[in-house]
Structure 1
Amino acid sequence: MNRPVRVFGVPMDLGADRRGVDMGPSALRYAGLTAELDSLGLTCDDGGDVSVPSPVTTDPTEGQPSEGRAKYLGATERVCRELADDVAAAVEDGHFPLVLGGDHSIAIGTVGGVARDRDLGVVWFDAHADFNTPATTPSGNVHGMSVAAILGSGSFAGGWAEAPAVDPENVAIVGLRDVDDEEGRALRESGVTTYTMTDVDQRGLPDVTRDALAVAADGTDGIHVSLDMDFLDPAEAPGVGTPVRGGASYREGHTAMEIVSRTAGEDLASLEIVEVNPILDDHNRTAELGVELVASALGKRIL
């Protein structure tokens, strides 16, 4: 990494049922993010927080599609459009965008901004597929639709959320262990490459991560890495929006991020970390682990 880092916070929890992930950016900063980046010799420019409306004063039905439901979709669109503009400007200025969430719906904005001027591959570390659409979602929560939205699935086709420069064949999801039935059927037909925790158990996370990066890099101009902290096991990261048992261990998480750094190198176009929920955390340990993982992805080594 030889680019300056520009940090953006997106304190949003409109895409989730549980309140609290809106405090994720503050928790990550409090956990020493800037100092960690400084220790790597990286110039860090904090661009502040994107403005996010309060759910108390926001109509959850605004922007609803004609079929299905997607709560707070109108407000999510406004936030993601602003984030996409900020990220695109950072890329144009030669900065590396590091985005702090917030719920995972913010990835629509991050990817939309980075993919404006390049064909982009995506590696998505997550317990969930985030491949529901308004027509298939059991909850209406947009953070469970992010990948589908970016790829223009269902009612997202041709809309504001779709990133045409992202091909499903260049998207890999790592760590799956909680997938809805309709979501799973759509995912199998999508062209997206998936690695469940069974694949991780059988093959090992290093091999899976290298394969996922190869999928994202094939014919693209850069790789976006989206790290949902529920990729980790709740024993390691208790403060997340939707914890699922059976995730990656502390050391596996670092290994995956170290492989991202070594393998992607300068092809790593952007990084985001999402779903840190301090309300559910234990002495900010999830945010502290998140900062460590960011450092590993940006080049920190044991020796």
Structure 2
Amino acid sequence: MSGERFPLLRAYTQEVRPALFGRESSPESCKAIFLGVPFDSTSSGVPGQRLAPRRVREASMELETYDPTSGMDSEEASFYDAGDIPLVVDYRVLTELLGSLAREVFACGQVLAVCGGDHFVTYPVVSAAAEVYGRVQLVVFDAHLDLRDEYPVRCRYSHATVMRRLVEENYQLHIVYFRPRAFSKEEWAFASSSDRVVIVKSIEELVSSLRRGYKTYVSIDIDHVDPAYAPGVGTPEPLGEEPESLVSALKAVIERGGKDIVGIDIVEVNPLLDLGGITSALAAKLWAIIMRELNAS
């Protein structure tokens, strides 16, 4: 990797092979930078999300990536796999390291594609986006709201509090949730009382809720999808979405966001809880679709 534009990425990432879809490219010439974040220290269930970046890459090598409708192949999309950041345990260390890397990518005008890791990894990346761009809207696909003030008790920074901290600490942040289905009374009260949190149930509502003049970041917690399709998650929640529903909504957001899309993450894949690798395969398929859609936007 060239050190001229990305000195921090060169210094603090470790090459992983196979790369996503076996893609070899240069960071300077690409539209998106794919970054693995093997972190699961704030998980409240069985940890294992740290293993997801490698497993998702491995799963990507077994997928067909050509889309005859668009004529596009994910293997030819404009992205660079920067590898993984080092394994860290302390969320404060992760916040400083990942936040610095994200600011570097955003400052160069490229899309940051993050493969987590538990959902806390969204916190430093979106915080960095807000610092660089100012007005940011966060589109969330998640079974949960992650708006708790503390979880577990006396823990204010975790996968279950990440959205609460982002709203409180970034006054220009606007959050749009697509069909969440599991939340506490406290979370529902907070969401209902905030003028910067919107919950929508249809793709039409989702698209119309996106604001002009805002950069867009998309966060996908894989437990948004029903456990029948994504069993490898720490907090499975029944009655979830089918993958096709998520894909349709995701495509609509990327099409609407266009060049204002600054980042996307997929989090909470836990290979230790998976069945036959189908959750990792689903995440890899989503990355294939994302890279094609970003290339077309």
- Deviation digits for residues 196-249 of structure 1, max 9, x if unmatched? xxx63xxxx42243234x2xx3442x1000000011111111111211011110
Report the equivalent of 1:7.
34
For these two proteins, the number of residue pairs brought into alignment is: 256
Superposition pairs of residues 30-41 of structure 1, within 5 angstroms: 30-32=58-60, 36=65, 39-40=73-74, 41=76
Letter matched to residue 102 of structure 1: G
Unpaired runs of 5+ residues, structure 1, are 55-74, 153-161
* TM-score calculated relative to the size of structure 1: 0.77
Give the distance between the partners of 1:122 and 1:49, measured in 2 at CA: 23
Superposition pairs of residues 129-140 of structure 1, within 5 angstroms: 129-134=145-150, 140=155
Whether 1:178 aligns to 2:173 is no
* TM-score calculated relative to the size of structure 2: 0.78
Report the equivalent of 1:57.
none
State the Cα distance separating 1:115 from its structure 2 match: 2.0
State the Cα distance separating 1:273 from its structure 2 match: 0.5
1:207 to 204, 210, 228: 204
State the Cα distance separating 1:26 from its structure 2 match: 1.2
Give the distance between the partners of 1:208 and 1:252, measured in 2 at CA: 14
Whether 1:43 aligns to 2:78 is yes
Give the distance between the partners of 1:3 and 1:223, measured in 2 at CA: 19
Superposition pairs of residues 1-303 of structure 1, within 5 angstroms: 3-17=30-44, 18-32=46-60, 36=65, 39-40=73-74, 41-54=76-89, 75-118=90-133, 119-134=135-150, 140=155, 142-152=158-168, 162-166=169-173, 170-195=174-199, 200=201, 205-212=202-209, 214=210, 217-220=211-214, 222-300=215-293
Report sequence identity in percent: 25
- Deviation digits for residues 6-63 of structure 1, max 9, x if unmatched? 1111111111122111111112111217985993332332222222334xxxxxxxxx
Give the distance between the partners of 1:28 and 1:139, measured in 2 at CA: 33
Give the distance between the partners of 1:246 and 1:82, measured in 2 at CA: 36
Aligned pair in 2 of structure 1 residues 101, 137: CA closer, same or farther (>3 Å)? same
Aligned pair in 2 of structure 1 residues 194, 244: CA closer, same or farther (>3 Å)? farther
- Deviation digits for residues 246-299 of structure 1, max 9, x if unmatched? 111021121112212222111111100000011111222112111222333343
Give the distance between the partners of 1:149 and 1:238, measured in 2 at CA: 28
